């Protein structure tokens, strides 16, 4: 289990992480989502003892990471696949980790096979690895001791579609065996497929958290019509919050923050024909993510805001 309690981290006057609290539970994959610069990586670095918090704390397996007697045996970590000794071979990197943690030699070959690095690739120097190969090596190192917790920052970077599916199946199976998996990624579809729980962070603060089912179900109602202005006016007159968004299917789509029954009644009273009316969870994780983090998205900032 991972427990983050009132965690904050400041650099001078900049507050990178602001009072973040959440729990990642055993047997579940927790997706840690947020735009670039939202505080995900800083939070994860605090979890594994690389960055000291300004206030609050994070524990893994009930202890601070630094207090674990042999942390690699309990916690598998992959924060930066490029942070590997470029002059060593993949096999050497795994062998050093194996000896450091006091594991049987056979684990090195087991992990090379598990992440599909061939013998010739394992004997190649890491400087000659593609990013996808470095990700596989990093995952192999994280899994080497069969830890009960995995903390992975963008592990799908550099993987091709087949590699992404392999990683997804690997992590899903690992969690199903009882492990705690915390996974950050900008590949929202992959998070949507694999995650049980979601933690969404923006500007260093948690903006939403809960089970994937709960968060997507809270997306409201999706309504389509050929007369969006009239429908929008009717909703406004009824005091019902709503947005128009091409992210959920085109310019004729509105997401309404109420149930479908009320939306249908408003449309009927206004004599507006509807093309579609349904719960908006089908809009998916991308729409929810964009709405929750809209004030932290570079593309939505004005030039003055971004400066």
Listed by start position, the domains of the chain span 2-209, 218-292
- pTM, 2 dp: 0.77
Nearest by Cα to 287 from 233, 244, 252: 244
CA dihedral over 24, 169, 201, 255, signed as positive or negative: negative
Supply the DSSP string of 194-241, one letter for each residue: H-SEEEEEETTEEEEEEEHHHHHHTT-EEEEES-HHHHHHHHHHTT--
284-298 tens-digit pLDDT: 666 667 666 666 554
**Residue for token pair 């190969």:** 133
For residue 242, report the phi and psi dihedrals to the nearest 5 degrees.
-160, 160
- Quote the pLDDT of residue 248: 47
| More reliable by pLDDT, 229 or 36 | 229
Cβ-contact 198, 210 below 8 angstroms: yes
The first and second tokens of residue 60, run together, are 């893994």
CATH architecture of 2-209: 3-Layer(aba) Sandwich (3.40)
pLDDT in tens, 35-71: 888 899 999 999 999 999 999 999 999 999 999 999 9
Q: Which of 3-7, 260-264, 276-280 has the lowest mean pLDDT?
A: 276-280
Q: What is the CA radius of gyration of the chain?
A: 23
Neighbour-count burial of 169, counting CB atoms closer than 10 A to its CB (0-12 exposed, 13-18 middle, 19+ buried) = exposed
Count, residues in the chain: 307
Pairing mode, if any, of strands 180-184 and 29-33? parallel
Each residue of 108-165: pLDDT tens digit? 999 999 999 999 999 999 999 999 999 999 999 999 999 999 999 988 888 888 888 9
Confidence class for position 218, pLDDT limits 50, 70, 90: low
Give residue 297's pLDDT.
Answer: 55
CATH fold of 218-292: Alpha-Beta Plaits (3.30.70)
Q: Output the average pLDDT for the chain.
A: 87
Give the model's pLDDT for residue 300: 46
Residue bearing the bigger pLDDT, 34 or 265: 265
**Closest CA relative to residue 84, chosen from 42, 126, 140:** 126
Residue 282 clears pLDDT 60, i.e. is over it: no
């Amino acid at each position: 289990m991972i427990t983050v309690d009132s965690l904050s981290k400041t650099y001078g006057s900049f507050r990178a992480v602001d009072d973040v609290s959440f729990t990642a539970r055993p047997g579940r994959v927790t997706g840690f989502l947020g735009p670039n610069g939202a505080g995900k990586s800083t939070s994860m670095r605090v979890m594994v003892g690389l960055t000291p918090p300004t206030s609050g704390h994070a524990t893994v397996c009930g202890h601070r990471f630094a207090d674990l007697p042999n942390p690699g045996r309990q916690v598998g970590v992959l924060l930066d696949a490029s942070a590997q000794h470029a002059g060593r071979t993949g096999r050497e990197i795994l062998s050093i980790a194996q000896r450091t943690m006091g594991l049987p030699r056979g684990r090195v070959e087991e992990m090379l096979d598990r992440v599909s690095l061939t013998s010739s690739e394992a004997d190649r120097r890491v400087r000659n690895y593609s990013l996808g190969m470095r990700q596989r090596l990093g995952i192999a190192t994280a899994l080497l001791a069969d830890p009960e917790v995995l903390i992975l920052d963008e592990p799908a970077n550099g993987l091709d579609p087949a590699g992404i599916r392999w990683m997804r199946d690997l992590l899903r199976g690992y969690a199903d065996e009882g492990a705690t998996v915390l996974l950050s990624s900008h590949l929202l579809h992959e998070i949507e497929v694999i995650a049980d729980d979601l933690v969404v962070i923006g500007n260093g603060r948690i903006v939403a958290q809960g089970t994937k089912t709960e968060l997507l179900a809270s997306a409201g109602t999706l309504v389509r019509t050929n007369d969006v202005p009239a429908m929008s006016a009717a909703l406004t007159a009824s005091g019902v919050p709503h947005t128009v968004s091409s992210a959920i299917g085109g310019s004729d789509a509105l997401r309404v923050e109420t149930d479908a029954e009320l939306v249908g009644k408003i449309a009927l009273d206004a004599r507006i024909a509807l093309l579609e009316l349904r719960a908006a969870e089908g809009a998916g994780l991308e729409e929810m993510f964009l709405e929750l983090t809209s004030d932290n998205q570079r593309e939505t900032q004005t030039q003055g805001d971004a400066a």
